[in-house]
Chain A
Amino acid sequence: MVHLSKTEQLDAAFAALSDATRRGVLERLGRADASITDLAERFDMTLTGMKKHVGVLEDAGLVATAKVGRVRTCKLGPRRLDEVTAWIDRYRQLWSARFDELDQVIEELKLKEKERAPR
């Protein structure tokens, strides 16, 4: 596993989430831990292919794996999806607040325009 900085991990998390299979794997692991073999079967994929996906999710901190005997078990990692999306909410809050005030400015401009050009 590659060790990434916190910033790189967040970038990696977004990249990891851009793939439908990987989102499916997260959803699956949200319900129960699973081995790479289980996941490969469920997603109709080769073991090598699934290992790659799990590797990407693991680098992003979204999945953690542990080898017990010959089986590598996967579970949800330390980074949660809500952490990835939390700042987007703050970003949206700022823009919503701005635009709600912009609505008022626009209403006044519309009113003024009407007064200037009565029909």
Chain B
Amino acid sequence: MKNDTTVERKSEREVVITRTFNAPARIVFEAWTKPELMRRWWVPKSSGLTLLSCEMDVRTGGGYRFVFKHPTVPGETMAFFGKYVEVSPHSRLVWTNDESGDDGQLSTLTLEDRGDTTRIVLLEVYPSGAAYEAGKGSYDGMPESFAQLDELLAG
């Protein structure tokens, strides 16, 4: 049985995602902080994207960089990157999303250990309502958002 994922918009620039996992927090934390594990779930098959590389230096001030094959332009790549602002093993992970310049959201993952299960809360805070509107494009099925970027680059 799969656990439910809830997504709630808390304000014009905040979204909260919650989910329970059937494992203690140390295991869930491990899956968020080891690149060889992260690359197995961060890009779901249904997204149609191919992850080329996944570098993560998980410590406060360290950076991460995910490189994807461009879904529409052969030979081109796309990158998502940012910095870890806080790394508190098994309880909290905070990172920036810098691929959109100053408009990227700050992501805060909180893990609440409940013994055999872990409740996670992922809070994404955008610098403004407008940045949020721009950012949510990346969730409109990712290929579409890349198409938008194509237009931007072509313009």
Contacts and interface: CB of A to CB of B under 8 A. Distances in A.
B2 A103 contact: yes
B12 interface: yes
B130 A7 contact: yes
B27 interface: yes
Contact of B31 (A90, A93, A95, A102): A102
A101 B44 contact: yes
A102 B141 contact: no
B7 A109 contact: no
Residue with the highest number of chain B CB atoms closer than 10 Å, among A14, A102, A107: A102
Contacts of A71: none
Nearest to A89: B7
A92 B134 CA distance: 17
B145 to A, nearest CB: 11
Contacts of B141: 90
A102 B21 contact: yes
Interface of A: 7-8, 10-11, 14-15, 87-88, 90-107, 109-110, 113
7 contacts: A15-B12, A91-B139, A94-B47, A96-B5, A102-B41, A106-B31, A109-B30
